Structure 1
């Protein structure tokens, strides 16, 4: 019998790659995001290429009411979520505290922290009723370190690490596994979003190195969610060979 995984932020990057890989490995999927056309295109692709079923939820995870309405709208056959992958997240801007853009701060806090909490609260309640489940929070090397001008983004990912630990304690008695996966530099839309569509600036982030690809993190997530019932991967950090810490790269000329 297939398990069902709910993946937030499935419209691109790690979320899209993870959706595709889990579908290829015997999971049905609930995919969420703000870009409905991309969600429907991914659903069509997966259902054409695998025997997995896909249900689309189009909403903004920053909005508590939208998130509640979306989860409450799930048909009966989609009510049981075995795995929740909290992937939705972003970095916006790169600046000092003294001249940071408050709108960017709000966007990161609302997505990376509050959105994760909103959906985790709803989905975990159903896992508790069942007495099992698995929540995987996608963190970052920025949740382990703080780098210049990354202040608020790093703070949100440090919060993800703390929330993950808190979840693990709270859900221990309910048989719910809780894991975090922290990537280093992954070449996705991440830097393009951070730099407001400036592709030249975004490309420089990965210049001279071989970064991780979205599928590398999808492979890691698949490993985490397919361990035996008695095994939980608490926390895993995945880095490119060319990266030692958040801003330490071996760049080739």
Structure 2
């Protein structure tokens, strides 16, 4: 039975991936900033598949100390972590010139730093064992920047760059690294905006891609996969 760590697991893509993993019999370590949401979702996952173990801890992944506590908590309870899904992120629809003074630090700390630090925490163990799979949830905005979401585009571009370096470092050690690059996806980022779900990528679509990648042969690595709305980006 495999063990997976997922950041930002109670909403959107993280939630969909957690549910998909639970159905496949994968043990889970998840975090959220909200204790009630975390408790409710942990119970839901456990009921979905009583055969798996689900560990949850409150953590704001943008704060290095809390992120480190989550990593230590996960390793203590699970031992070796087979799968890491770096999902936590924040979206701000604002140009760089009109952005708040703390936006640079805040978005770097949320969209980039957690993936970097979790890689450094778990990476050497994966190398020593010779297996593992890291998924980084990037964004089409990291390839085709959105001027009205300036810093978001910058941080997602940086995350894609980090993914490429991770893959180069890990490929000789039997550890796989994959960038998931969704386009307009129906998550809380669109809260308050009227959209047609049939014109968007669903979180479950992203989860399906990840579970299918995990089912591939040991010799195959999906470097990057882009998932865009069928009618085009919103």
- State TM-score, norm by structure 2: 0.93
Q: Post-superposition shift, 1:163? A: 0.4
2:62 aligned partner: 62
1:233 aligns with 2:222: yes
Change (3 A) 1:208 1:168: closer
Equivalent residues in 2 for 1:116-155 (5 A)?
Answer: 116-155=115-154
Q: Post-superposition shift, 1:70? A: 2.4
* Aligned counterparts of 2:108 and 2:221: Cα–Cα separation in 1: 28
How much is the aligned-residue C-alpha RMSD, in angstroms? 1.7
Change (3 A) 1:163 1:38: same
Kindly indicate whether the alpha-carbon contact (under 8 Å) linking 1:83 and 1:225 is maintained by their aligned counterparts in 2: no
1:196 aligned partner: none
Change (3 A) 1:111 1:75: closer
1:210 aligned partner: 199
Give the match's secondary structure for 1:150.
helix
**Which of the pair has more CA radius of gyration?**
1
1:176 aligned partner: 175
| Mean CA deviation greater in 68-77 or 123-132 | 68-77
Kindly indicate whether the alpha-carbon contact (under 8 Å) linking 2:31 and 2:70 is maintained by their aligned counterparts in 1: no
1:38 aligns with 2:27: no
2:157 aligned partner: 158
Kindly indicate whether the alpha-carbon contact (under 8 Å) linking 2:29 and 2:56 is maintained by their aligned counterparts in 1: yes
* Aligned counterparts of 2:163 and 2:147: Cα–Cα separation in 1: 25
Give the match's secondary structure for 2:9.
coil
Change (3 A) 1:22 1:209: closer
Q: Post-superposition shift, 1:119? A: 1.7
* Aligned counterparts of 2:43 and 2:29: Cα–Cα separation in 1: 13
Structure 1: runs of 5+ lacking an equivalent: 193-198
2:85 aligned partner: 85
Structure 2: runs of 5+ lacking an equivalent: none
Q: Post-superposition shift, 1:129? A: 2.4
Q: How many residue pairs are counted as aligned between the two chains?
A: 233
